[in-house]
Amino acid sequence: MKQRFLIVLAALTAAMSAIAQPLTVSPDVSKLKLSSANALVFDAETGQPLYAKAADEVTPIASLTKLMTAMVTLDANLPMDELIDVEMEDFDFLKGSKSRLRMGATLPRREMLRLALMASENRAASSLARHHPGGTQSFVAEMNKKAMVLGMMHTRFADPTGLTAQNVSTANDLAKMVSAAAKYPVISEFSTTGSHSVEIQGTGQVLGFNNTNMLVKSPKWDIQLSKTGYIREAGKCLVMMATISSRPFVIILLDSLGKYTRVGDAQRVKQWLETGDSAGAVEPREPGMIRVNRTGKVVTKGKVRIKGTLHPHYAATAKPMKFAGNTSNTRN
């Protein structure tokens, strides 16, 4: 009996050891076709990059900014039950984005943070910064200080919402931000909440919100952190930390053209990591990408994204992996 126990224990130890081993080779980068202009995929356990496309190019990051907003908010250790409100200062006069949080809307800081992360609520993010000790200006200074601490040397923040194109970063820098943000349990929870309702204090009004990333509700995905972003200058953006084939990966997708392209790219990354090939991954189709006149002739086609190139380092060093079997507005 003892000998049998030792054999089983040895087998389990060997299995666990095998699981913990870092990847020794990368999937074939030529098999991953992405439409996002800037992209990065790396193993979150080892920090090993598997794919990079214009990953050092500085570009606006839109509401991906709110991950830094969340970290600075939590680092301040302010009472999460404290009621904070929406004032005129929180309104978007730059892009004219809409919000369901009206003037005077009051919520606990916790709920403002949740809405900023899951629903990309600009007024919620602005309120968090405005109620920070020293106000918004001090808050933005803390955002830039945090970026420097994380080694995000090509990143600059000018506001807490991402509505301004002056908030810029690179895919490589954003991977550091995602990795850091994923260590905050509150950020992981709030950014992956599928839907949530809040009661506006003093009015009894109940508002329902949905996550701007449709993938968090998919049973085919195991997502630990998520954030979307969009302004015209940044294009559609998506960053995630997700477990794929029992390993955590950070996925950075920037400047995607088309409402569903970033989601399609995420699907291609997942299939590539699981099978070694992204062909056949399902991408939601955006209606109206092709127009046909009365004679049946195609008169307009959607644009083709050609910006961004595969980083030569990754193209030159990556080796084929052996496999054993097998929504658009300025708030998101």
From 26, 36, 66, 99, the catalytic residue: 66
35 is catalytic: no
Tell me whether residue 114 is exposed, middle or buried, using C-beta atoms within 10 angstroms of its C-beta: 0 to 12, 13 to 18, 19 or more: buried
Query: DSSP label at 310?
Result: B
Question: Could you tell me the two tokens for 237?
Answer: 């953006």
Tokens 């997708």 identify what position?
A: 253
pLDDT band at 67 (very low <50, low <70, confident <90, very high): very high
Percent pLDDT > 70 in the chain is 77
Q: What is the pTM of this model?
A: 0.81
Distance (Å, whole) CA 17 – CA 87: 55
Give the lowest-confidence range in 28-42, 222-236, 272-286: 272-286
CATH number of 36-317: 3.40.710.10
Where is mean pLDDT largest: 10-14, 21-25, 31-35, 166-170?
Answer: 166-170
Distance (Å, whole) CA 228 – CA 173: 16
120 is catalytic: yes
Give the lowest-confidence range in 23-32, 36-45, 105-114: 23-32
Question: Could you tell me the two tokens for 11?
Answer: 């087998």
Mean pLDDT rounded to a whole number for the chain: 84
From 120, 126, 169, 256, the catalytic residue: 120
127 is catalytic: no
Distance (Å, whole) CA 253 – CA 40: 7
Question: Ramachandran region of residue 245, left (φ > 0), alpha (ψ -120 to 50) or beta?
Answer: left
Which phi and psi angles does 19 have, rounded to 5°? Answer: -65, -35
- pLDDT above 60 for 312: no
Convert 189-243 into a string of H (helix), E (strand) and C (coil).
Answer: HHHCCCEEEEECCCCCCEEEEECCCHHHHCCCCCEEEEEEEEECCCEEEEEEEEE
| In contact, 330 and 98? CB cutoff 8 Å | no
Percent pLDDT > 90 in the chain is 71
From 63, 169, 188, 191, the catalytic residue: 63
Distance (Å, whole) CA 125 – CA 66: 7
- If one counts every other C-beta atom within 10 angstroms of the C-beta of residue 309, the result is 11
Q: What is the mean pLDDT of residues 242-246?
A: 96
Radius of gyration of the chain (CA): 22
- pLDDT above 90 for 88: yes
Is pLDDT larger for residue 327 or for residue 33?
33
Rounded to 5°, angle at Cα 281 from 278 and 258: 105
Give residue 277's pLDDT: 85
Domain boundary assignment for the chain: 36-317
Give 102's strand partners.
Answer: none
Query: DSSP label at 252?
Result: E
Distance (Å, whole) CA 233 – CA 157: 15
pLDDT band at 305 (very low <50, low <70, confident <90, very high): very low
- pLDDT above 50 for 307: no
Give residue 283's pLDDT: 59
Tell me whether residue 265 is exposed, middle or buried, using C-beta atoms within 10 angstroms of its C-beta: 0 to 12, 13 to 18, 19 or more: buried
Give residue 330's pLDDT: 59
Give 228's strand partners.
Answer: 238
Give the lowest-confidence range in 4-18, 67-81, 117-131, 149-163: 4-18
